[in-house]
Amino acid sequence: MFHKEGAKIIFIGLTVTVAVALLAEKFIDSTTLKLIVQLVALAFLVLILQFFRNPLRIVDIKDHHIIAPVDGKVVVIEEVYEPEYFKDKRLQVSIFMSPINVHVTRYPSNGLIKFSKYHPGKYLVAWHPKASEENERTTVVIENPVFGEILYRQIAGALARRIVNYAREGMQVVQGTDAGFIKFGSRVDLYLPLGTEINVTLNQKAIGGKTIIATKA
């Protein structure tokens, strides 16, 4: 299963792969060189398909827990000042996605979209300290009946050149459903209320829609 945001790129990749294979068959006499060219073209297509995969995940929907919005590695767990929306201190949990991770963004909780804003910006590496303030990014706030307002931020990385965000103010969203996509490497930050019980540790692998990031009684 592949994400709809990859349809155009997958079609182009498939077309290029077939064209290269046919041209190699017609114009390259060396069997070894022909095979190498065709295998490189096939590997290119496989990489594209791998990047845009969208695995079906059964989500345990509950208001009293926050799930990972993306696949990746937990790289930040700390108390920080959130300057854009809350303008106070929050618990930040950040997940870094490498190019080989699934890049679908999923809603981390049920609730009402209170805020959704796109920011153009730079393309610093996603783990750079200034990435959350200077890179291309989107900020989304969900009002959850148990946690209150939580914020997640999609952040473009050095390779990412397009963030897709489906959240619109006034929408009611369901935990674990498709919230968007970030193309080619990135990071997602979660900002949770102080006192929230964090259920993950640094460098832990998170699975979008499955890993419970935080809980609240």
Q: Name which of 159, 146, 155 is nearest 66 in CA terms.
A: 146
Question: Which residue out of 94, 109, 132, 186 is catalytically annotated?
Answer: 186
186 included as an active-site residue: yes
Alpha-carbon dihedral angle through residues 30, 35, 40, 43, given to the nearest 10 degrees: 180
- Residues, the chain: 217
Q: Computed from CA positions of residues 23, 21, 6, 94, in that sequence, does the dihedral angle turn out positive or negative?
A: negative
Answer whether 69's CB lies under 8 Å from 208's CB: yes
Catalytic positions are 186
